[in-house]
Chain A
């Protein structure tokens, strides 16, 4: 019996050595694997891959959900960039949010995780909850309406009035000057999510012996330690965190609708996402909305790919 087991041990896991090593043979041999992944990937293709393809297809049509789509070539894209001024506002706002909130959130995620990591475990656990809680608390960002409420009962207005900086309450979320900066604040507040956790976890797995070796080799302070040891060891988590941060920064839309209204005053809070929802779910111009979605898709994936390439060079 034991011999048999040994025999199997040697030959069963890799029977490919004996068969012809064609793709078909490999596929047959792994049919159980395919069976296991099938349920997930059937759904994944139905609800993620197919929709992306459909969005690309629909973006070349006009479609109102009642009549069948009609092919119009590049018309939607031409209209989007040449005739749709609000789209330019939305594009600009989205880029501002992505360029400001994305990197800030990413850096904060890392910095916080790095500082927290030096704390005793109990304090570390409490700090993790404080920083992570906003991103998992659902619609708690409504709380910002209490801070920046437009009447004098809002906390910020109350403080400013009492200190004499203003003599009339500012209607923060209805004033085009304040909408975008406030959305940035809220977005940063919300954005310490999965990336933050990944960094905390990553820091805990950096080999401790590396730090000791580093100290022997003349690492003098924590900044050198960070640059020469911690960052290179955490590269995989850094890449994962970047993907999460970038994707989140480009997807800002819901907080704008909930806080600044839909549409926001003078479109000051309009982002590509809100613009898409305007055309998709309010005007039912599905083809046009799909063109907006495709642009957003390309921006997200393009930025992600570019940043990945950049991060790959860190510490190599």
Chain B
């Protein structure tokens, strides 16, 4: 505390002085009032939590590389001593022996995730453009419902959803997972918020050139919101990648990869090594995707705020 108040009595000069001393922060103009003690305390705080957050992920990687005897070593070790890829090769072998081939699970996952994501991107952005840029009767009401739907999760509607999907004859087809995924509300919300930034003048000039609304959406607005595409894709991808099909898919040959993976992970001690390999794979796919697209996604989230 004393450090902070001492500096404050000396107005701006002291602040500039401080900026000069702390090279790390000098780069950025906004850090004008910083105490070194506070910085250290905050960095220690976040360091502890980074360990808490990161440790399970590190353990996942470490365990995937452990040979079986290390997985059941006492006292247990956190880090792998003799890394091996045998868990992965075991997984490949046992997956070949399953009733439904591994490649089929993978294909199912790709179909469900691919179509569900693509359709969502198209449908949600198509609806987001008029909601963001045109005021028409009902637009605020519809957006209000979408925001309301962010306030409860899909677990609430699970049972009626099953009834509807079975009435539509979609149970035990890919459609049962793909079609409802088109209408997830978070994607529409984020897309609409991001589209509000597209300059009106671009849209107006296209309209004057006689462009139809659908043309404006596709040729003017969509190329301008590419960062938002990635955000929608990763959120949707992650949601669909994690689905096991649940009650909607009953045939084994339609089940997605996550279902098969859960079977392996739940396989107990005998399959602990393979389970570790499986968790590594399921973790790495979405994380890699995020690492690659991070900056674009953060750009989109900047507009996610809720107005009053």
**Which chain A residues have a beta carbon within 8 Å of chain B's beta carbons?**
5, 8-9, 12-13, 23, 26-27, 29-30, 32-37, 39-41, 43-44, 46-52, 54-55, 58, 65, 108, 111-112, 115-116, 118, 120, 125, 127-134, 136-144, 146-147, 152-155, 157-159, 161-162, 189, 192, 194, 197-198, 200-202, 204-205, 208, 211-212, 214-216, 218-222, 224-225, 234-237, 239-240, 243-244, 246-248, 250-251, 253, 273, 276-277, 280-281, 286, 289-290, 293-294, 296-297, 300-301, 304-305, 308, 312
Contact of A147 with B59 at beta-carbon distance under 8 Å, contacts A41-B142, A118-B31, A293-B157 already known: yes
A247 B151 Cβ-Cβ under 8 A: yes
Cβ of B217 < 8 Å from any Cβ of A? yes
Residues of A within 8 A of B146 (CB): 44
Q: Chain A at the B interface: mostly helix, strand, loop or mixed?
A: helix
Residues of B within 8 A of A225 (CB): 33
Contact of A143 with B56 at beta-carbon distance under 8 Å, contacts A40-B123, A41-B127, A50-B160 already known: yes
Residues of A within 8 A of B12 (CB): 215-216
B127 A240 Cβ-Cβ under 8 A: no
Give the distance to chain A from B250, nearest Cβ to Cβ, in Å: 13
Give the distance to chain A from B73, nearest Cβ to Cβ, in Å: 7
Cβ of B137 < 8 Å from any Cβ of A? yes
Q: Chain B at the A interface: mostly helix, strand, loop or mixed?
A: helix
A234 to B29, CA, bound (A): 19
B53 A192 Cβ-Cβ under 8 A: yes
B298 A201 Cβ-Cβ under 8 A: yes
A7 to B75, CA, bound (A): 83
Cβ of B34 < 8 Å from any Cβ of A? yes
A212 B30 Cβ-Cβ under 8 A: yes
Subset of 6 A-B contacts with CB under 8 Å: A54-B163, A125-B295, A134-B57, A220-B8, A236-B304, A296-B155
| Chain B residue with the shortest CB-CB distance to A279 | B159
Q: Which B41-69 residues have a C-beta within 8 angstroms of A?
A: 42-43, 45-46, 49-50, 52-54, 56-57, 59-60, 63
Q: Which B132-152 residues have a C-beta within 8 angstroms of A?
A: 134, 136-139, 142, 145-146, 148-152
Given B49, B60, B158, B186, which contacts A194 in the complex, CB threshold below 8 Å?
B186
Query: Chain B interface residue count: which class?
Result: 35 or more
Given B4, B130, B159, which contacts A36 in the complex, CB threshold below 8 Å?
B130
A129 to B284, CA, bound (A): 12
Give the distance to chain A from B230, nearest Cβ to Cβ, in Å: 12
Contact of A50 with B164 at beta-carbon distance under 8 Å, contacts A219-B33, A221-B4, A293-B157 already known: yes
**Which chain B residues have a beta carbon within 8 Å of chain A's beta carbons?**
4-5, 7-8, 12, 15, 24-25, 27, 29-35, 38-39, 42-43, 45-46, 49-50, 52-54, 56-57, 59-60, 63, 71-76, 78, 123-124, 126-127, 129-131, 134, 136-139, 142, 145-146, 148-153, 155-161, 163-164, 179-180, 182-183, 185-186, 188, 204, 207-208, 212-214, 217, 234-235, 238, 241-242, 247, 258, 261-262, 265, 275, 279, 282-283, 286-287, 290-291, 294-295, 297-308
